[in-house]
Structure 1
Amino acid sequence: MTHAITTRAQAKARAREIRSEHARAGRSLSHAHALESVAHELGYRDWNTASARLSNQPDIPLQVGERVSGKYLKQAFTGRVHAVRELAEGMGYDVTLHFDEPVDVVEFESFSGLRQRVSAMISEDGVSWAKTSDGIPHLIVAREDAAII
């Protein structure tokens, strides 16, 4: 589990998990001690060292202007990040993307619905919670160098 922690937000989430584990076992643990435990799990001397090191990592998965690719309503796209806004307490991100070429979001042959700029709420992994009627996420997005098409 600890190998996936690369940001302070993830480390703090792990500290909350540790506190919950202790609470379920009937033991009390302060948030400060939980943060120290996370630091030790990650191989750091203390939380201050871990926090300083982790703060050098980007806290959000996408940056404005960054090249991205993925799928929007089952259609492959490439484009740029136009806007990113963190949702409450890092639960996800509201992103606006501008596609290089418009994407036809209508599956019927009789007409088209082209979209070039779209907004969606996504998880840290770049996957929207909203899904099509057959269970496919509306948006799957990644940095172009880590494309998921």
Structure 2
Amino acid sequence: MTVNAVKDVKAQARRLAEAMAQAGNPVALSKAYELTAQAAGHADWNTMVAALRRAEPAAHAKGYALGDAVRGRYLGHPVSGRVHALRRKGETHYDIEIALDEPVDVVESAAFSSMRRRVRATIGADGRSIGRRSDGVAHLELD
């Protein structure tokens, strides 16, 4: 499956709607989506899109995939955990959520603490988040 599989089947559905209109049997684009999905052996459009997205290459940023063990730093604290969620965001970035092995305190104060069991960030192919601290260091840096 190509990375643009959903775009490809959307284009196919548009062509189907246009062809049916030219043949004197116009259908709404939403109906063309459903017909395209059924012709491909899926129950409906949403089921087909979900299947296409699952079939996309598992390799994401730096080769991370769901369930992979990762290590790095979050807000300067060493962390380790497993990739809990991963979603492509544009051509070069990914939203990643990591379920941490041990909670990390994200507050630099003796007065209180805030423990996190999961962390989320948008990362580039280098494994670093686009979000930065005031000193310019990435919020999340994966090894």
Name the % identity: 41
In structure 1, distance between residues paired with 2:88 and 2:69? 19
User: What per-residue deviation string (whole Å, max 9, x for no partner) do you get for residues 69-98 of structure 1?
Assistant: 00001100010000110111x221000100
User: Aligned-residue CA RMSD in angstroms?
Assistant: 2.1
TM-score relative to the length of structure 2? 0.57
Kept in 1, the 8 Å contact 2:133–2:139? The answer is: yes
Unmatched 5+ stretches in structure 2: 4-56
Q: CA deviation at 1:134?
A: 1.0
AA at the equivalent of 1:84: L
AA at the equivalent of 2:85: A
User: What per-residue deviation string (whole Å, max 9, x for no partner) do you get for residues 123-148 of structure 1?
Assistant: 0111001111111100011xxxxxx3
Q: CA deviation at 1:59?
A: 4.6
TM-score relative to the length of structure 1? 0.55
Which residues of 2 match residues 105-144 of structure 1 at below 5 A? 105-141=106-142
Aligned length: 88
Unmatched 5+ stretches in structure 1: 1-8, 10-55, 142-147
In structure 2, distance between residues paired with 1:113 and 1:57? 33
Kept in 1, the 8 Å contact 2:60–2:88? The answer is: no
Q: Identify the structure with bigger relative contact order (alpha carbons < 8 Å, sequence gap 6+).
A: 1
Larger radius of gyration: 2
Q: CA deviation at 1:60?
A: 3.7
